[in-house]
Amino acid sequence: MIQTRFKILSIVIVVLAFFKIYQHNLLVQLTYEYQRLVQHKKKLEQERNELYIHFLRKRDPERIFAHAQKKLGLHMLTIDQIKHIPTGKQAVDFLHTTSCDAVLKIMGLYDLVIGRTGGLVHVCA
């Protein structure tokens, strides 16, 4: 009877010892995984910061203006390029019509605005 209790007790002790070893191995494995994830997080944060700096440099207004002039051939708007399209009551008083198409034709902008957009742009209120 004592021997069977001793055998059962020794089996329980061995099982508990292996369980503790298993727990310890899991703890070590999770610690390594945690360290790896912390390093990966730091690397991602550094990459995010570099990309944000790159983004801020790209959206710099002076850089965009220089790119527009050199690569795209765009220039500053001049006063003679600005056209005023009267709307509402102003169009009736000045041009004697309320039709948006008529206003654009009188101003010489019908082909420019309607022709390019297929009439999808609403420019008169």
Is 53 domain-assigned? yes
pLDDT in tens, 82-97: 776 655 555 445 555 5
Average pLDDT in the 54-71 region? 87
Question: Is 107 exposed, middle or buried, given 0-12, 13-18 or 19+ CB atoms closer than 10 A?
Answer: middle
> Looking at residue 112, what is its pLDDT?
67
**Amino acid symbol at 78:** T
Residue 112 has, within 13 A of its CA and on its CB side, a CA count of 10
Q: Could you say which of 64, 98, 113 is where a domain stops?
A: 64
| Residue 112 dihedral angles phi and psi, to the nearest 5° | -70, -45
Q: Is residue 15 located within the same domain as residue 49?
A: yes
Q: Is residue 7 located within the same domain as residue 60?
A: yes
Domain that holds residue 116: 83-125
Residue pointed to by tokens 């022709």: 115
Q: Which two tokens stand for residue 122?
A: 């609403």
pTM over the 0.95 mark: no
Is 57 domain-assigned? yes
Q: Is residue 11 located within the same domain as residue 42?
A: yes
pLDDT in tens, 101-111: 666 677 677 66
